Amino acid sequence: QERGRFSLPGSAWGCQGLPNGNRLVAINSHAMVIEYDDSGREVWRKDRLPAPPTSVQRLDSGSTLIACGNTQQVVEVAPDGTTTVIEVPGHPISAQRLESGNTLVALQDAQRVVEVNSRGRILSEINTGSLPIHAVRLENGNTLITLPQARKVIEYDAPGKSIVWTTALPLLNPYAAER
């Protein structure tokens, strides 16, 4: 059942539903992220990002994590507007801040998913053999990765070495998955 509808200033790539009912939307066509309330009213905006955003995550701290693949960066915007940049070569298409403080990043051009620290140093990686477009770390430590060209979603074990689950049938353009 539809809960609401509102107009966007351009095409959206990513969206996160927030606990307060607001929606955080990555407006890819205008290199900005906007937070909307339930009525569609804009309550927060970060524009002039270094590149079109492809994923967005509101962190517990109130900061917003944004993947900006065209500039090889993951950007964190604090509530006061200060930005911190993590350089991640390989076209970061999605980013998720982990409980450890590290960041899980799907690298589209590099065909891998990496965990990086706050300086962008790679701590671990999973070679996917196909273009990953979304990755999420599960509560059990495994990593769920969406591979649209391979037409499947794969779950790797915690070390990232073995596949523990995959979709049985080919999927048509899967772009995100969560458990």
The pTM assigned to this predicted structure is: 0.93
Q: What is the mean pLDDT of residues 131-158?
A: 96
Average pLDDT over the chain, rounded to whole? 94
Which helix (H) or strand (E) segment holds residue 9: the answer is none
Question: What local confidence, expressed as pLDDT, does residue 155 receive?
Answer: 97
Question: What local confidence, expressed as pLDDT, does residue 13 receive?
Answer: 87
| pLDDT tens column, 41-98 | 999 999 999 999 999 999 999 999 999 989 999 999 999 999 999 999 999 999 999 9
Closest by CA position to 45, among listed 148, 126, 53, 60? 53
Question: What local confidence, expressed as pLDDT, does residue 44 receive?
Answer: 96
DSSP assignments along 71-103, one per residue: GTEEEEE-TTS-EEEEE-SS-EEEEEE-TTS-E
Closest by CA position to 135, among listed 83, 77, 176, 74? 176
Question: What local confidence, expressed as pLDDT, does residue 128 receive?
Answer: 95
Confidence band for 6, pLDDT divided at 50, 70 and 90: confident
Helices H / strands E in the chain, number of each: 0, 16
Q: What is the mean pLDDT of residues 139-153?
A: 96
Sequence-distant (≥ 6) Cβ neighbours of residue 169 within 8 angstroms: none
Instruction: Evaluate if residue 121 carries a pLDDT over 80.
Output: yes
Instruction: Evaluate if residue 3 carries a pLDDT over 80.
Output: no
Instruction: Evaluate if residue 25 carries a pLDDT over 90.
Output: yes
| pLDDT tens column, 32-49 | 999 999 889 999 999 999
C-alpha–C-alpha distance, residues 9 and 175, integer Å = 22
